[in-house]
Amino acid sequence: MLKFEMPLYEAKYQEADEWMEISELELMDQLYRTYTKVTPEIKKMILGREVETPHGIYRLKFKGGVQGGEQSELSAA
């Protein structure tokens, strides 16, 4: 059986000091409101970078590993 997990996202809003887990739907809503093209912004998150919008800062939540700019198969595509 092939088993995989969907990516999780986190946001840090201006009034909050902590990162909060958010849904992919909430992330996409904010990215589409801010950027004409969201794919480059998603690629930045895959590479371990944070993406800023007027509403907050967003990033991909990494589990059990180091969050950073390590090259992966996804980023090579």
If residue 58 lies in a helix (H) or strand (E), which one and from where to where? strand 56-61
Residues of the chain with pLDDT under 50: 65-77
If residue 10 lies in a helix (H) or strand (E), which one and from where to where? strand 8-13
Q: What is the pLDDT of residues 35-48, one digit of tens each?
A: 999 999 999 999 99
Cβ 24 vs Cβ 9: under 8 Å = yes
Measured between alpha carbons, how far is 42 from 14 in angstroms, rounded to an integer?
21
Measured between alpha carbons, how far is 9 from 16 in angstroms, rounded to an integer?
16
Cβ count within 10 A of residue 53: 15
The structure's pTM equals 0.72
